[in-house]
Structure 1
């Protein structure tokens, strides 16, 4: 790959979008350049193929984004942060929610281990509700023992 091709890959919309998504939601793949490059290339290929098949721009973009984010809609960090933000807004000041999420994440790893977060429809499943409840309980127990 020459210097211009490398620069173009680094500046690709899909590459940058995925990299930001992975970092913001603290996915394990956030620092995996090969993973990001492969996914970005697959998304670009999906877009190009869809356009060749006659899809409108919006439809092709939707297919590309599905390809880009397949299995990456639900991160452990984002789900735990959502629980803390939604369920403990009064107990935990907003400025401390980030730190608590980071602190609790390794402690609730076993809770996450029994759920398939790679399912793109996980948030609409009963399993999501169960996970949400279990995490809420774990936070309650942590706060009861250690406080904020």
Structure 2
């Protein structure tokens, strides 16, 4: 039981949970993913230290494993679009809640694109940004928020 509690409260698990809550809330219920990822990060850190590497390198190695594939966030993109394009309709303080409302409704758009860590720098990002902007505009119009 004590080992189970320590795994539940490990540094990497808590760090990942905090990150997911902020940028990928749709993954918060995926306990297997969270466990596997945080356990792999902790193991990578431990192995790096055991092999004589310094704390900074070990931490970088663990963080690479912990956050791999999570650097691009559709939620963060929605919030940015709301701030940039819809600040009159949706006040900045309400953008996150509104983006959370929109997030599950954007799954069709999300599935059209591969969203690797460097997606923000890809040509497809502009296309997704444009499509999301149009989607938000229609949503606001159809739901009487204008």
TM-score bracket, shorter-length normalisation: 0.7 to 0.9
Q: Which moved more, 1:52-61 or 1:39-48?
A: 52-61
Answer whether contact 2:72 2:118 (CA < 8 A) is retained: no
Quick check: 40-49 or 128-137, which moved more?
A: 128-137
Gaps in structure 1 of 5+ consecutive residues: none
Aligned residues: 145
Aligned to 1:67: 65
- Please report the TM-score for the alignment, with normalisation by the length of structure 2: 0.85
Displacement after TM superposition at 1:139 (Å): 1.6
Q: C-alpha offsets along residues 74-124 of structure 1, whole Å, 9 cap, x if unaligned?
A: 23322212211232223312343234323322332211111112x121122
CA RMSD of aligned residues (A): 2.0
**In 1: Cα distance, 2:97 partner to 2:41 partner:** 34
Cα distance, 1:40 vs structure 2: 0.9
Counterpart of 2:117? 120
Say whether the 8 Å CA contact 1:43–1:68 is kept in structure 2: yes
User: Which 5+ residue runs of structure 2 have no aligned equivalent?
Assistant: none
TM-score, normalised relative to structure 1: 0.84
Q: CA deviation at 1:29?
A: 2.5
1:1-148 matches, within 5 Å, as 3-117=1-115, 119-148=116-145
Q: CA deviation at 1:58?
A: 1.1
Q: Residues of 2 paired with 1:145 and 1:34: CA distance?
A: 38
